Amino acid sequence: MNNRIKEKNIVITGASGGIGAEMARLSAQSGANLVLLARSVDKLEQLKKELENEFGVHVVVKSLDVADTEAVQRVFKEVLSEITHVDILVNNAGFGVFRHAHEADLAEVKSMFEVNVIGLVACTSMVLPSMKGRKSGHIINIASQAGKIATPKSSVYSATKHAVLGYTNSLRMEVSDEGIYVTSVNPGPIETNFFEIADKQGTYVNNVKKFMLQPEYVAKKVVERMMTSTREINLPRWMNAGSTIYALFPRAFERIGKRAFNKK
């Protein structure tokens, strides 16, 4: 339970499954009201029914593809007219595809940036003015350890997550004196349907399955930190230690870790 978010209004993108749905469940358990956004409105409606029946909270669901910036503006205007303000925005929507750089399809590249970066920025821009006006709020951006350690076959995905971290770190400094918290979440691989698209052959999943995080665990760590001045949530800790070593000794880290990195 997180008593800080009781009766707060929380918007979660990519809420139809994985850690998005788990964050919604834990937030509702703590008494938060929710706006759940995703492309699959059928799954959202099922989740809405579950949460309202079990926890008695107010849940709004809307279909949204965050890559469509016009739709982002329209949907968030609808949301703000219904709930008046957003206390917490969790930018969770995202996807990746693992390919060698020379095999990357440019349409796929564009789509990854539109969802993972432009969509995140668009959603954030829709809630920031009211947060600044109220001197209160929390932006939580789901990034990745891939935003800290680039590996083979994830050049584009890693580039999008590096961009997310750059944006997040800059935004945090911009609003640090305005009562708004900004947190990046940097998990390693999570056992969700993310890899149905990212790793269709299953090679990467087979190699890292024993290290994969459970979505319930990641969601719990995020919800526990809502409405706190947490800078980053890095999971698992040993992987984040690797990113620290990488930042200090990049050449040695790449040379030593080459065999492991090429298991994708």
**CATH number of 10's domain:** 3.40.50.720
Our CA angle for 90, 115, 75, nearest 5°, is 60
Cα separation of 136 and 180, whole Å?
Answer: 5
Question: Which entry of 157, 167, 204, 246 is annotated as an active-site residue?
Answer: 157
Cα separation of 169 and 175, whole Å?
Answer: 10
Which tens digit of pLDDT belongs to each residue from 28-59?
Answer: 999 999 999 999 999 999 999 999 999 999 99
List the domain range (segments joined by +) for residue 66. Answer: 3-261
Which tens digit of pLDDT belongs to each residue from 200-245?
Answer: 555 554 545 566 799 999 999 999 999 999 999 999 887 778 788 8
Annotated catalytic, 157? yes
> If you count DSSP H runs as helices and E runs as strands, how many of each does the chain have, helices first?
12, 7
Domain count, the chain: 1
Q: Report the pLDDT averaged over residues 124-145.
A: 97
61: left (phi over 0), alpha (psi -120 to 50) or beta: beta
pLDDT at 4 over 70: yes
**What is the b/e burial string over 25-59, where b = at least 16 CB atoms within 10 angstroms of the residue's CB?**
bbbbebbbbbbbbbeebebbeebbeebeeebebbb
CA 264 to chain centre: 22
